[in-house]
Every structure is written in C-alpha cells, then in structure tokens.
Amino acid sequence: MSQENLDVIERAIAAVNARDIDGYLACCTQDVELQTPLIEVSGSYEGPDGIRRFFGDIEDAGPDFRLDLERLEPVGEDRALAFLRAHARGRASGVPMETETGNVYDLIDGKIRRIRIFSDRRLAVEAVGLRE
C-alpha cells in the first residue's frame, strides 16, 4: 500500500474530528459504504447522503465525539487496518464514553471505498486475514 493511501485514511479521520463532511467525502469514492457495529439496527451508511447522515448521528449522540488513531497498518495493496479510540460525552447524559475499535479500510484508486468498524478489534484483525 502506498503512503498516499495511508495519508487519505488519516485525512478522513481528521475530517471526522473537524466535522468536515466535504473533506471526508473528498477522501472517498462516490459509492462509499460505512458499516458500524450497529449495522443490524441502523443499516450501513452509503454514498454521500449516508455519510452526511453518519456525521449527523455523531453530532446527535455526542457533539464532542473524536477519534484518536492509535495504529494504522497496510494489509496488501488496497486495504488497511486501523486501531482507533473513540471519545465522546453523551449529549443528554453528559456521561463520558470511550470505545476502542478496529477499522478496516478498503481503497480503490487512492480513495476509500468501504469502512468496516468493529467494536471487537480481534474481529477486525480476522476480517483482514491476520492473527493477533
């Protein structure tokens, strides 16, 4: 995987933290798909409209939501595994929340095509065919 592909993932994560929807979409293909651990409940976020909905859901859940990138590793030419820590304070409750995730990024032509977020990092490692 090229350094440019890793850079696009880092820019997308920074765009989430900055609430820069256009910046995020610039890192993605037109048919981008974002799958969260809540996919069974809320479905996946697909295309630009889905990404806008994702940003709205983040804001609704916790306006101070942010991601800290702990590790980013290439897996083959067009896939990367990222370990992130998500921080937020509940909008209604004010209760702080911290979650560790494993994210799998699939890229096409230097843009993010699909993001799969796993609340169990072990599952993310398995999804890319690696062992812990």
Residue 67 lies in a domain: yes
Judged against a pLDDT cut of 90, whether residue 107 lies above it is answered with yes
Judged against a pLDDT cut of 80, whether residue 132 lies above it is answered with no
Residue 132 lies in a domain: no
CATH value at residue 52: 3.10.450.50
Confidence of residue 13 (pLDDT cuts 50, 70, 90): very high
**Rg (alpha carbons) of the chain, rounded to whole number:** 14
Is the whole-model pTM more than 0.85? yes
Q: Quick one: pLDDT at residue 62?
A: 81
Which 8-state DSSP code applies to residue 60?
A: H
Between 71 and 91, where is the model more confident?
71
Instruction: Identify the domain containing residue 121 by its residue range.
Output: 3-127
Beta bridge partners of 18: none
Residue 29 lies in a domain: yes
CA 56 – CA 50 distance, rounded (Å): 10
- Maximum distance among all alpha carbons in the chain? 43
Average pLDDT over residues 65-76: 95
The total domain count for the chain is 1
CB 11 within 8 A of CB 116: no
